[in-house]
Amino acid sequence: MLKLSLFRSGWLIVAIALTACQPTAVAPTIAPSTATAAVPPTRTPRPEPSETAEPAPIALTSSAFEAQGEIPDRFACPSFGENISPALTWGPVPGGTQSLALLVTDPDAGQFIHWLVANIPPDAAGFAEGQIAAGAVEGTTGIGEPGWFGPCPDATHRYVFALYALDVATDLDPGFGLIDFRMATDGHIVGQGQLVGLYTP
């Protein structure tokens, strides 16, 4: 019995010793994540479109006819008159005006072009009858020729004289077309005057 007790005691000591020799379990260390949270890109807010200032009004008159009045025969096309351009007077123009441009159309004939004038000096105050200001040039009308082409309708039509004050100096060549005119004036109109006359054949 004594031997059996000693044998059991010996095994107990060995078991304790083996247990003591086992490495201590260490909880795994979790390394801190180096990844940063995704930050949404900063967006620059789109600027609101700036309001386009309305062109300043310019008084445009003619000694040949009154607004909404009848244009005399002498200013009509060769079939009805002498095909002379009417006298025009305008002013004042807005400060900063670098040049002026004139467009005359017939809205009752599909915006038929009767007169195109550009490169008008900013200090010009009008045109004499049958003339344009020094330095100005005339573009091509609806009949394919430069200069004034007077009213030539088959019934009463309106003729819109539109004067534009521009913040740029145009440099169009004689005989320029409507596309050239639009390219030179679009986005540069700081003042505008209008005169409407009627013609009845």
**29 pLDDT exceeds 60?**
no
Mean pLDDT, residues 102-114 taken together = 98
Domains of the chain: 60-199 (3.90.280.10)
Beta strands in 26-177 (DSSP E): 56-57, 59-61, 88-91, 99-106, 112-120, 126-127, 137-138, 157-166
* pLDDT tens-place string over residues 157-197: 999 999 999 999 999 999 999 999 999 999 999 999 999 99
Neighbours of 65 (CB within 10 A): 19
Tokens linked to 187: 């986005």
* CA–CA distance, 135 with 124 (Å, rounded to integer): 10
* CA–CA distance, 23 with 90 (Å, rounded to integer): 105
- Which pTM value belongs to this model? 0.74
Amino acid at site 72: P
* CA–CA distance, 56 with 54 (Å, rounded to integer): 6
Per-residue pLDDT, 101: 98
> In this predicted model, which residue has the larger pLDDT, 5 or 192?
192
| Burial of residue 55, with CB atoms counted within 10 A of its CB: 0-12 exposed, 13-18 middle, 19 or more buried | middle
% of the chain at pLDDT higher than 90: 74
Range 3-6, long-range pairs (CB < 8 A, 24+ positions) = none
Per-residue pLDDT, 52: 61
Per-residue pLDDT, 11: 38
Per-residue pLDDT, 53: 80
Per-residue pLDDT, 119: 98
* pLDDT tens-place string over residues 41-82: 444 343 343 346 899 999 999 999 999 999 999 999 999 999
* CA–CA distance, 183 with 189 (Å, rounded to integer): 12
